[in-house]
Amino acid sequence: MAELRFTRPADDAELDLWRSIHNEIIPAGPLSLDEVRERAGRNRLELAYAGDVAVGNSTVRPPDSDGVAVVIARVLAARRGRGFGALIHDRALAAARALDPVAIETIVLAANVDGVRFAVRHGYVETERYEVDGAGYVTLRLR
């Protein structure tokens, strides 16, 4: 099984690396560094490294007013198929569970068919499809 090292972005260089991974995986919803700084203030962001190479990142949104937390795991396309997604997801899921939410959801770009399949394999069921700025997204809830 793959091994990863996780860090929470501590400065603008790491926030920018987190941003670049997000923007590569979700080109329909690119973020600026300022937007990532703002997200880091309200969400738990992490970078995942295999050795010294960044392979992905994660977001954990704390429970909203309905008690729903959101877990998003991202793996760069060139690094997929090595077990990194499961490790990133499991770590983010544990962080979300520690917040004692009523439910946990994930959101996947609809065009990312492999990402949707990954979520279903990890116990999520589709609850909603929607569009933002012409890009389709799928919300899935953990059973």
At 28, the pLDDT band (50, 70, 90 cuts) reads confident
- The DSSP code for 72 is E
pTM, entire model: 0.95
Domain ranges of the chain: 5-103
* Residue ranges with strand state E in the chain: 5-7, 44-50, 53-61, 68-75, 103-109, 124-132, 135-142
Query: Among 139, 111, 102, which Cα is nearest to 26's?
Result: 111
At 1, the pLDDT band (50, 70, 90 cuts) reads low
Average pLDDT of the chain is: 96
What CATH number belongs to 5-103? 3.40.630.30
Q: What's the average model confidence in pLDDT over 25-45?
A: 96
Q: 99 CB contacts (<8 Å, ≥6 apart)?
A: 60, 62, 63, 69
In the chain, the N- to C-terminal Cα span, in Å, equals 25
